[in-house]
Amino acid sequence: MDYLENRELSWLKFNKRVLEEAVDPDTPLLERISFSAIYQSNLDEFFMVRVGSLTEKAKDKNAKPDKFSGMTPSQQLDAVFTAVRRLQPSVEGALLTTMSELAEYGYEHVSFDKITKEEMSFLELYFKRELKPFISGIVINDALPFPFLQNKEIYAVVQLGSKKGISIGLIPATINRSERIISLGRDGKRFILAEEVILKFAHLMFKNYKVIDRALIRVTRSAAIIASGRGPEFRRRMEELVDKRKKLAPVRLELSGVFSRDALDYLCKKLKLKNARVFTSRIPLDLSYLFTLQEYDSDPRLHYTVRTPRKPAAVSDTRPVFSQVKSKDILLSFPYESMNLSFIRLLQESANDPKVTSIKITLYRLARSSKVIDALCTAAENGKEVLVMIELRARFDEENNIEWSKQLQEAGVNVIYGPKEYKAHSKLLLITRKAQGGNFDYVTQIGTGNYNEKTAALYTDLMLLTADRDIAADAEAVFAGLVNGTFVENTNKLLVSPLALRPQVLAMMDEQIEIAKNGGKGYIAAKVNSLNDSVIINKLIEASQAGVKIELVVRGLCCLIAGVQGYTENITVRSIVGRFLEHSRIFIFGADSPQQKIYIGSADYMSRNTVRRVEVAAPIEDERLRRRIREMFRIFMKDNAKARIMLSDGSYIHERRNPDTTFNSQEYFYEEAYKRLEDRSARQEQMKINREKGAKKKPAPRKTASKKQTEKKAETKAPAKRGRKKSTP
């Protein structure tokens, strides 16, 4: 169908938008190379997870075709490989062009055909002294077992002269990440990579052989593991699965340049890979070193303008955060406002507050040195009831979360792992505190992003802090379900998947459809990371056909194609890809009015979020905060610098107008955060001035009369007596 698109191909279009940032002239040069590295990192994960999963499905002859495109798993794989191959020249061109422009600032990735004799001698000596002692060459032929190639590690491979068939020489080329860049100059900007040096002198590792050909290779392995469980044994099971994942089947082989066809066929045979899964590259196979290059020059022309999260204007320094939330709901916006000075502060204060009795929280991804974990451990050690639902199945964070769960348990925290078959992806916190009269007060936090101080400075997210008792009751029900392995079916205010989110979303969309059918202005808006829930997509199409205006901001994959006559002509789709990763989720139902409904939460419009995970979204009811979110959405729709608009054929274009009117939403929000704090400081200063002026205008106090004067005055003027005056006899 013309208005639907395959999930995998839509995701590849998103990664193409990431790559566009690597060639955008408005992006500083050293920031451009980071987008090249991000593109590759994204693609690695895509192959490990999505291609790995499709590869397994392709083995099943009864596998169902994709509901959006009608393609079988095998057809989807073919389409994916074709799309990736078509993007490769753009990937190479982006990095090579940026590096050539960086030459003006002294940067040069040197190739062996351009180095001097002195540098060649230096590198040969470097290889013999610094590299060779730590590596070993392995000879591979049919008489020997094929060695295990680690996921995403680089190997130097050489074809060796042999009278009996093909012989391959293999050298692991990963020494130490920090030593991968070999400097050929004082500042490190003129460099060569360690794997390139190893490949150049690989013949020294196989002195009894003739080296016929050589290349660098990199294998990507599937990471598609499925785990279920919830009891004490689940953590041990997860440890086993994470170890098993490292040994899953290869799904891709990358190759630097051209290599002997016979030798390549031999490698593919040993790795059980078809040639269709071999991808050649003219640039390094692992671009993670590009982040290090950024540190070699602090010239502001090469970097983004320095931005640091501001202290939230809505949070005072003079009162505990808990009491501030009791007075009014607080909305936090990251990375523009500081997580450390707001949410982390709330946790730390609560951990040490003697009146706080319990803290309950769901954890998905955490920073390496997590202040959240520190605060939770402190709370438990202070005798509070601390319940932590930590998701051990958070992809590629499994090992971290396993270790965090152990540390939490050692501190006396009650750790649970959530439902057996469902991930808990919600961002939910409930704090209970003793109040006067033996009652309790509650603060509930619902967010769109993880409790990760590092990513909170890189991802755009929203967080609501509220003392609403109905929301607290809903949060308590969510935690009870996580403990008992059950799901919330009915709520007061929160939307909670897998049972009580999608039905409510559909019902609110139906309300807008009815408004449009009755001649009113129906309106639906959403900002999500991805859209592929077929039920929600069908409802959006129905709404469009009914005349409802629909505005979607979808950063990543979007299986709904906008602007198709007869189906989606009333739908617009934008994708914002810029300096910060757009991660916030906002749902809006209805035009601006008291009846308009606004939610923020952790769920995307994906079936995995709406029916296969525990997710939570909260209503924004405070009119101040509602106005703020409406304004935020207006700003998203105004962006013409980093926004791309989806066309009716599924492609995306920049809506870049006259450079004089370029509008960058992310820069606007940072400026707004600065201004909000400045305005608050200005108000506080003005209040201080007013108090001082008021003190000066007060009349001088009267002089106090002496005791003698007071007594004399009392004698001359006695007070009038109360009551009726007596008559004279």
SS3 assignment, position 471: helix
Q: Are 281 and 92 in contact (CB under 8 A)?
A: yes
The whole-angstrom separation of Cα 85 and Cα 490 is 48
SS3 assignment, position 420: coil
Cα of first residue to Cα of last residue in the chain, in angstroms, is 116
Phi and psi (nearest 5°) for 132? -55, -40
Bridge partners (DSSP) of residue 545 are none
DSSP state of 294: G
SS3 content of the chain, % helix, strand, coil (to 5): 40, 20, 40
Q: Cβ of 688: how many Cβ atoms within 10 Å?
A: 10
Binding-site residues for ATP, please?
A: 42, 459, 555, 583
Q: How many CA atoms lie within 13 A of 464 on its CB side?
A: 31
C-alpha distances out from residue 6 to 289, 570, 606, 645, 682, Å:
33, 21, 13, 18, 52
**H or E, element range at 697:** helix 665-697
Q: Which two tokens stand for residue 506?
A: 């559909």
The whole-angstrom separation of Cα 71 and Cα 64 is 9
Phi and psi (nearest 5°) for 637? -75, -20
Closest CA to 586 of 559, 617, 541, 623: 617
SS3 assignment, position 608: helix
The whole-angstrom separation of Cα 390 and Cα 402 is 9
DSSP secondary structure string, 625-668?
HHHHHHHHHHHHHH--SSEEEE-TTS-EEE----GGG---HHHH
Please list, residue by residue across 653-674, b when 16 or more beta carbons sit within 10 angstroms of its beta carbon and e when fewer do. Answer: eeeeeeeeeeebbbbbbbebbe
Binding-site residues, please?
A: 42, 365, 395, 459, 555, 583
Tell me which residues are annotated as active site.
Answer: 425
* Opening angle at CA 120, ends 117 and 124, nearest 5: 145
Q: Which two tokens stand for residue 41?
A: 């990192």
CA 326, 329, 330, 333 torsion-angle sign: positive
DSSP strand E in 128-224: where? 138-140, 154-160, 167-172, 181-183, 190-193, 211-221
Binding-site residues for Mg(2+), please?
A: 365, 395
